[in-house]
Amino acid sequence: MESVNPSVGWGVLHLFYVVDRERAEEQPQAAKVVLDAVAALERDGHQALLFAVLGHKADLGVMVLGPDLARLQLFQTELAAAPLQLVDSYLSLTELSEYTSTEGDERARLHNEEGLTDDAEIEARLVVWRDRIAHYQEQRLHPKLPLKKTICFYPMAKRREADANWYALSFENRKRIMGGHARVGRTYAGRVLQLITGSVGLDDWEWGVTLLADDPVAIKDIVYEMRFDEASARYAEFGPFVTGLLLEPGEALARVGLSG
């Protein structure tokens, strides 16, 4: 199997299944089929998160990510051998935001907001900033996702309406608006892990948003607060939300009724 590796970032595939109860009864080792596929995927340098979905949209959610799209597709095929019916999916790629602050932005901020004028002091602060931004970029492109207690996924896009066309705005204006959006998100650091992945040209929406948190209230709060930000209130459209209990793979399968 020839690899398909994005030149930037990793592939991210969200899969949503309902359990075929009749097949599950006839396949007492159903969970082993999935667990073996997960183990093989992770041996190949990819990550899989399994979650028991709350509500009617699915029984089981699976989020897989890693460097090779062909390997993710093979994993999806392997799961077809289990008594699972695929009811929805979403494909995206990890990416860096084009609105991330540059070194020039940070230098200007140190001068304008903190009043620093000494070149040596500014350079010392920039050394710390470069390390922090390098870590941030690595986590955006090649994330190692923790096993929090809850997970929420939804797709979104920017509006193109006549009086609210995101793509008609200048880059400077879009960056200013997204800067305010990011400031809200940073207030949830440590409570909510946010992974924004790009799907323009790959799936029906433009981005996928995955939120991980131990407290589901934190997920509700961050989405609610961001709705009042200009980037969301004026320019964002949201797809369906899917929320689940993020668990060790064996426990997630047992929760949805797969044994073995």
> Which bin fits 45, alpha (ψ -120 to 50), beta or left (φ > 0)?
left
149 strand-pairing partners: none
Cα(37)–Cα(130) distance, rounded to whole angstroms? 39
Report the alpha-carbon angle 19-20-21, nearest 5. Answer: 95
Catalytic annotation, pick one of 17, 90, 154, 188: 154
- Catalytic residue check, 224: no
CA dist list (Å): 233 to 21, 154, 164, 203, 236: 42, 16, 10, 23, 7
With contact defined as beta carbons under 8 Å apart, do 64 and 47 qualify? yes
List, by residue number, the catalytic residues.
154
